[in-house]
Amino acid sequence: MFCVIYRSPKRDQTYLYVEKKDDFSRVPAELMQGFGKPQLAMLLPLDGSKKLANADLTKVKAMLEEQGYYLQVPPPVESLLKTHLAKE
């Protein structure tokens, strides 16, 4: 199984995984509108031969089969002030 990964021009570190190149038919219109015009990032085999940087391979495969896409968003920004106050 392969997937195609697209980068969002509107949202930093946000990626959309789909099963086929330029096939966004199963992606909700609202998501596509917020994502912007997808920019091709890479094609990736989902056979476990390559690791995903910030996504779980099993979850990506399951979401592609269930809903036809997987949306990878950046982790929340760590609040250094909150961390500092929690230590006191």
Kindly report, residue by residue over 9-63, the tens digit of the pLDDT.
Answer: 999 999 999 999 999 999 999 999 999 999 999 998 888 788 777 888 889 999 9
Q: HSE, CB side, 13 Å, CA atoms: give it for residue 58.
A: 0
Q: 63: domain CATH number?
A: 3.10.510.20
**Could you tell me the residue range of the domain that residue 31 belongs to?**
2-87
In angstroms, what CA-CA distances link 85 with 19, 50, 77, 78?
A: 45, 40, 16, 13
Number of structural domains (the chain) is: 1
Kindly report the pTM of this predicted structure: 0.82
pLDDT value for 86: 77
Order of all β-strands in the sheet with 39-45: 39-45, 2-7, 15-18, 69-72
pLDDT value for 65: 94
